[in-house]
Amino acid sequence: MLCITMRKGEYLTIGDHVVIQLDRLTAERAHMTISAPREIPILRGKVLEREGGERPGCVYDT
């Protein structure tokens, strides 16, 4: 797994078509902007698990 530390305004790319930018930080939250083609599903972890999906093995509990 890759772990990246970012500052406000920095971004990362996944492949040629996905861009994730750190928009702002508050005391306990990071706000991200994700740009991806509509064909790529983006789903919050809690929604995935609520709908019966399994937590990916690479995700740890905080």
Stated pTM of the model: 0.78
The secondary structure of 1-40 as a DSSP string is: -------TT-EEEETTTEEEEEEEE-SS-EEEEEE--TTS
> Is 61 contained in some domain?
no
Q: Which domain holds residue 26?
A: 11-50
* Amino acid identity, position 33: T
Q: How many domains does the chain have?
A: 1
Binned at pLDDT 50, 70 and 90, residue 50 comes out as very high
> Is 24 contained in some domain?
yes
> Is 6 contained in some domain?
no
> Is 17 contained in some domain?
yes
> Is 56 contained in some domain?
no
**Alpha carbons 12 and 1: distance in angstroms, whole number:** 15
> Is 30 contained in some domain?
yes
> Is 25 contained in some domain?
yes
> Is 28 contained in some domain?
yes
Report the share of the chain in percent with pLDDT over 90.
77
